[in-house]
Amino acid sequence: MLDHVKFRNRDASVRFLALLRYVLLLIFFISPQVWAGFFSADAPPGDQLLKLAATGHSQSDTEARKVLTTQLRALADQLQLTANERPFEQLLPRTRIEFFKSLSQAQNPVVDYRDRILIVDGDVNLPYAVGLIVIARGNVLIDHGERNTIISGRNIEIGFDGRYSDRTSPISLIAAAGWAEVSWAASSRVYASSGIKFSHAREAKIFTPKGVDVTTGDVPVPFADAKSRPAIVKPLFSSQGATHVAQAKPQQAVPATPSLLSDRPADFRVDGTDLHAVTVYEGHFREVRVNIALSARPITLVLNSHEAVNWILTRQPYVQLKRVIVLCPCQPTVVGAGSGVPVIIGDPRQIRSISNRGANRDDYLEMQEKFEALTGQRPVTFQSESRGVAFTIDGIKNRPLPPLPASAIAKGKVILLATQGGLLEDGKVYTYCCAGASSTARASRSYNQGKWYVEARLLTREKQISPDTGTNVGLLSADSTQSDFWVSGGEYGHNYPVIGSSQHKLFSNGDIIGIALDLDKGELSYHVNGEWITGLPGAGKGIALKSGRSYVLGVSVAASSSTVPKDLYASFIKNRVDPEQLKIWAQHHDRWHVNFGEKPFKYPMPKGFKAYGI
């Protein structure tokens, strides 16, 4: 009986060993990919989502939705987000999942990217996105976004996220395996593995792995207390999962160390070379590529930006690049200048950037003048974009001088124009209207040559002898977006007020100010009640004007709403187009009565000048 039991035990052992051998063989021959998928359940949620972007198109909608739901919730749990901080929850159960190799508005301009689930194997570039779930293995660039959930295997750049002025700004969830940059972060929840840059983050929450740089603008964030500091969390991505991660700091780059022009003036002179300039507001994912293909003469290259840019240079073997000058109020980098080519960093105060959003004629001319002051010559070619991507320096591509504003050649009766109202007597009298510290009206015609004369009579508000600060008359640039006199004739100003910042007490109710505009000599002269404060026109003592510009007469009036009865204020705001209401309103504010020459002037017009309104 005992031997029989032993035999049975030995028989069971043999069967167990045979089964074990079979299992080991199965383990040996089974597909490594299957086991990798099996063990990937422990991978960070970011990796799982990026894997879905790479392989999800081969899955059923049910399988893909299950992975998406599970991993997005795991990611949110890891960041300890509340139910109100998870914008993806409303879309998950009811929205169709769409798969793309890459995605941009250019592929289908009429598509409205709202309330959709987009799984993308490559890059995403959209001008506007609302209520999206975007899982992309590549870069994600969105100009304006709101209520989005964006996961990227590389970098994320968003120009504006959320309604910053709204106290109930909807939350977006942003997570990048590389770096993330959100210009208006509002109430976003932002995670990035390599670095984060954001601004206007009133109610944002920032999450990072340990040791990641976080900046606001171009400087480290001054976190005042522990509550406002970035939360250090467990990584959402692994280096193996995010296979296309771009480094936060480019390799083989020349770091920028700003130095004042006054310290090393010789470094910026470009004698013996041709100057070629490229200027942008920002780069496409912080990079701008410049290909230099010019063989005629030695060249100096000027690179100018407002935001930090990694400039990537390529040049043909025959190119004679002698130096590179980089200008930026930031920390730019340069790659590819070549051995022996000096990269010179200019003081950011020496020159400001120009972009398509503000590139008018005055800005263009000012930029050219600043290049000349900095280097000794104006650029042979000049190229500019708001968000720079790629440029070619070939001696042909060049941005032309913008045309004169239409008002510089306008004909007909000259009157005052104001966008908000405040005009009386058919556009000859202007008073404050209706918001801000002051409001401004302009003449309907501007000039860029000739000699012109105009008179403006000052009328102060009731029981007031002198005008309020902010009330002024003078010349405005006809082309600049700057609409008042707060910045005048200085480094960035194109405007020339007659009343200085501390001179309002010198002027009284009823004063007549005559303005003589000599655009042939570039000089502004003015008198008060017939006394020429700047000397007679042509004497060379007037206010110097910048050449090549168009100027227009402007008048501004300061707000004095505190002296306006509440019932009058309320009724006027509702009926500002009512002439009778406006006359009553005007008594409580300064006014300007302008004579363009439609009737005789109070004082003799200078010799050789014409009436402004002729």
Q: Looking at the predicted structure, is the pLDDT value of residue 581 above 80?
A: no
Q: How many angstroms separate the CA atoms of 563 and 31, rounded?
A: 84
Does the pLDDT at position 539 exceed 80? yes
Q: Bigger pLDDT: 186 or 464?
A: 464
Q: Among the listed ranges 71-80, 297-306, 574-583, 605-614, which one has the minimum average pLDDT value? A: 574-583
DSSP H/E element including 552: strand 551-558
The rounded Cα 119 to chain-centroid distance in angstroms is: 28
**Residue 514: predicted pLDDT:** 96
pLDDT in tens, 298-355: 999 999 888 888 899 998 888 999 999 988 877 788 888 888 888 888 765 566 555 5
Taking CA atoms, 537 is separated from 266, 476, 521, 599, 603, in Å, by: 39, 19, 10, 22, 14
pLDDT for 201 equals 61
On average, the pLDDT of the chain sits at 78
437-492 tens-digit pLDDT: 778 888 989 998 899 999 999 998 877 888 888 889 999 888 765 666 764 444 44
Q: Please tell me the pTM assigned to this model.
A: 0.59
> What pLDDT digit, counting tens, does each position of 237-286 carry?
987 555 444 433 333 444 443 333 333 444 677 778 999 999 988 887 77
Look at residue 588 and tell me whether its pLDDT is greater than 80.
no
**pLDDT confidence of residue 106:** 63
Closest by CA position to 104, among listed 129, 83, 125, 130: 125
pLDDT in tens, 345-375: 876 556 655 554 456 777 788 788 888 888 8
| DSSP calls for 186-251 | TT-EEEESSEEEE---SS-EEEE-TT-EEEETTEE----SGGGSPEE---SS-TTT-TTPPPSS-T
Q: How confident is the model at residue 607 (pLDDT cuts 50, 70, 90)?
A: very high
CA distance 244 to 152: 10
* pLDDT given for residue 300 in this prediction: 92
Measured in degrees and rounded to the nearest 5, phi and psi for residue 350 equal -70, -30
- From the list 390, 369, 394, the residue with the least C-alpha distance to 381 is 394
In whole angstroms, give the CA distance from residue 45 to residue 34: 19
Q: What is the pLDDT of residue 469?
A: 83
Please write the tens of the pLDDT for every residue from 138-172: 999 887 788 899 999 999 988 766 543 343 456 88
Q: Which residue type sits at 260?
A: L
Specify the DSSP element, H or E, that contains 556.
strand 551-558
Read off the tokens for 255.
């770091």
Structure confidence at residue 26 as a pLDDT band (50, 70, 90) = low
Q: With 60 as the cut, is the pLDDT of residue 180 above it?
A: yes
Nearby residues of 149 by Cβ (< 8 Å), 6 or more positions away:
72, 87, 88, 91, 132, 133, 134, 172, 173
CATH number of 407-611: 2.60.120.920
pLDDT tens-digit series, residues 563-574: 666 666 556 655
Q: Which residue has the tokens 């003469």?
A: 297
pLDDT at 251: 35
| Residue scoring higher pLDDT (49 or 8) | 49
Structure confidence by residue, pLDDT tens digits, 485-524: 764 444 445 688 888 877 888 899 999 999 999 999 999 9
| Nearest in space to 556 (alpha carbons), one of 589, 530, 580 | 589
- Residue 109's pLDDT is what? 58
Whether residue 505 contacts residue 488, with contact meaning beta carbons closer than 8 Å, is answered with: no
- Per-residue model confidence (pLDDT) at position 247: 38
What pLDDT was estimated at residue 69? 94
pLDDT at 28: 47
- Indicate the SS3 state at residue 527: strand
Domain boundaries, the chain: 11-41, 43-232, 254-393, 407-611
For 426, other C-beta atoms within 10 Å of its C-beta total 10
> Does residue 89 or residue 171 have the better pLDDT?
89
Write the CA distances from 92 to 54, 88, 150, 176, 277, integer angstroms: 19, 6, 14, 20, 49
User: Highest-confidence range of 128-132, 485-489, 605-609, by mean pLDDT?
Assistant: 605-609
Mean pLDDT of 421-433: 76
Residues contacting residue 218 through CB under 8 Å, at least 6 positions apart: 307, 308, 329, 330, 331
Contact residues for 567 (Cβ-Cβ < 8 A; gap 6+): none
